[in-house]
Amino acid sequence: MVVDVLLDLDSGQQRTGLPPGDRATALYHQISNSPGLRAGGLHLYDGQNHQTHLDDRTEAVLQCWALADAFRNQLEKKDLRVPRIIAGGTGTFPVYAAIDDSVLELSPGTNTFFDAGYGELYPDLDYVPALRILTRVISRPTRETLTLDLGYKACASDPALSKRLGFPSLTGPEVILQNEEHLVLQTPDAHRYQPGDTLLAIPGHVCPTSALHKEALVIDDGCIVDTWPVSARDRWLTV
């Protein structure tokens, strides 16, 4: 059995991988010469590119691509094949999609579900957030506040409190408190709701939010048509 192995390139985020250069070349050569392994190409993730304006983001992405392209050429001059380069993420996917290169494979990020955070950060991405969290009113402490069963056991808590969740059916909602099991928000619409009423919330960060739930209900035209298991929730190491 031969396993294809990608070399992780550090494009400037300094999180994982090696920057293009002698060390990266040596590692790619080692992969190529290792029994049972085959040098399968490069992985280029530029998670540091969060520029809101598309022109600025495009310029930054093309700089990252130029580094990867030059490194690919260096490897091929040493008779080391680079059959593919996987690149991109949610915000940079459209820029890479416009690059004409036969070895480029796109990593589209979170464009399937999208979320409120990406929608605010990247106004040029014309996507509609597809994932909602069903939550229930469990208390109405005052005429302008609601307590929901939407603690950070049910949604990602890494965004700032003001950007953690969106409530499209409410007027001017402001999240003022969140704990493990509860979320308190302020809205002039609060008096319209009673304990037991339901709301739909758009997560600010959908990736870790989706992994907190065992399954997702697929809704089409107002009807539940399928159930998708979330395998990331019960992940485990196999090696």
Q: Is residue 97 part of a domain?
A: yes
Residue 126 included in any domain? no
Q: Work out how many domains the chain is built from and give that number.
A: 2
Using alpha carbons, select from 65, 49, 45 the residue that is nearest to residue 57.
49
| Same domain membership, residue 92 and residue 13 | yes
Determine the average pLDDT of the residues in 198-218.
Answer: 95
Q: What is the signed CA dihedral for 136, 142, 144, 146, rounded to 10 degrees? A: -20
Q: Dump pLDDT digits (tens) for 111-151.
A: 888 888 998 899 999 888 999 999 999 999 999 999 999 99
pLDDT bin (cut points 50, 70, 90) of residue 236 is confident
Q: How many residues does the chain have?
A: 239
Domain residues for the domain of 158 are: 133-234
User: What is the domain-level CATH number for residue 59?
Assistant: 3.20.20.10
Residue found under tokens 């919330």: 201
Are 23 and 83 in a shared domain?
yes
Neighbouring-strand partners of residue 3: 37
| pLDDT over threshold 90, residue 237 | no
Q: pTM of the entire structure?
A: 0.84
* 8 plus 101 within the same structural domain: yes
| Residue pLDDT, tens place only, 39-82 | 999 999 999 999 999 999 999 999 999 999 999 999 999 999 99
Mean pLDDT, residues 156-169: 95
- Same domain (yes/no): 156, 82: no
Q: In sequence order, which residues have a C-beta less than 8 Å from that of residue 149 and are 6 or more positions away?
A: 135, 136, 138, 181, 182, 183
Cα 95 to Cα 71: distance, rounded to the nearest angstrom = 20
